[in-house]
Amino acid sequence: MPRTILRIIVLPLLSLAACETTAEREAQFDNRLREMAGAPEAGLLNSMGRIPDSSYQLEDGSKVLQWRWDTSYIDPGSPPFYYRRFGGWGAGWNGGWWTPVGGFPPTLVRQGCIVEWTMVGGSARGYRWQGAGCAKVSP
């Protein structure tokens, strides 16, 4: 009975807490970017911590600077659970074989982050960001 209560009540609450943590991290990330608005290009490069991965000029004379991060990781998976199957005539308690059940192989979890800043007249005017890995990035 206590394990059932744990599975029904506690585990969903823990997963909600993890979601809130990610949302909080994304909000903090967005706030850090918002604080950089209006900075000159040199100041923006300093705040972002490195030069952009790419940049391009728009027709109206503004420039877009783009940074990319790859925060992918490998989920180790889980080994199968083995149980003993008994069967056949004359197998008795000493016969039978072990059968694997479940288990998951290691999996690559891709998480990236892209941040773009629009520079107008030499200062940072607007930004956008996307990606599940942005909560792990610290510009």
HEC secondary structure over 54-88: EEEECCCCCEEEEEEEECCEEECCECCEEEEECCC
Q: In what helix (H) or strand (E) does residue 125 lie, and over which residues does it extend?
A: strand 123-130
Q: Indicate if 65 and 82 belong to the same structural domain.
A: no
Distance CA 39, CA 106 (A): 43
Instruction: Quote the pLDDT of residue 68.
Output: 96
Q: Indicate if 23 and 64 belong to the same structural domain.
A: yes
Closest alpha carbon to 71 in 25, 6, 103: 25
Residues whose CB falls within 8 Å of the CB of residue 36, separated by 6 or more in sequence, listed in order:
43, 44, 47, 48, 117, 124, 127, 139
Q: Indicate if 80 and 123 belong to the same structural domain.
A: no
Instruction: Quote the pLDDT of residue 78.
Output: 92
Q: Indicate if 40 and 85 belong to the same structural domain.
A: no
Instruction: Quote the pLDDT of residue 54.
Output: 97
Q: Indicate if 37 and 93 belong to the same structural domain.
A: no
Q: Which residue has the tokens 């009975």?
A: 1
Instruction: Quote the pLDDT of residue 72.
Output: 87
Instruction: Quote the pLDDT of residue 38.
Output: 95
Q: Indicate if 51 and 81 belong to the same structural domain.
A: no
Dihedral pair phi/psi, residue 22, rounded to 5°: -65, -45
Residue-wise pLDDT tens for the chain (139 aa)? 455 544 455 445 445 455 568 888 889 999 999 999 999 999 999 999 999 999 999 999 999 999 999 988 999 999 998 887 766 555 555 566 778 888 899 999 989 999 999 999 999 999 999 998 888 777 7
Q: Indicate if 28 and 93 belong to the same structural domain.
A: no
Owning domain of residue 27: 2-72+110-136
* Tokens linked to 4: 């059932």
Instruction: Quote the pLDDT of residue 50.
Output: 93
Q: Indicate if 32 and 64 belong to the same structural domain.
A: yes
Instruction: Quote the pLDDT of residue 82.
Output: 85
Q: Indicate if 82 and 62 belong to the same structural domain.
A: no
Q: Indicate if 65 and 131 belong to the same structural domain.
A: yes
Q: How many domains does the chain have?
A: 2
Instruction: Quote the pLDDT of residue 19.
Output: 55
Q: Indicate if 59 and 119 belong to the same structural domain.
A: yes
CA contacts within 13 A on the Cβ side of 139? 31
Report pTM: 0.66
What is the domain-level CATH number for residue 30? 3.30.1450.10
Residues whose CB falls within 8 Å of the CB of residue 24, separated by 6 or more in sequence, listed in order:
none
- 3-state secondary structure at position 96: coil
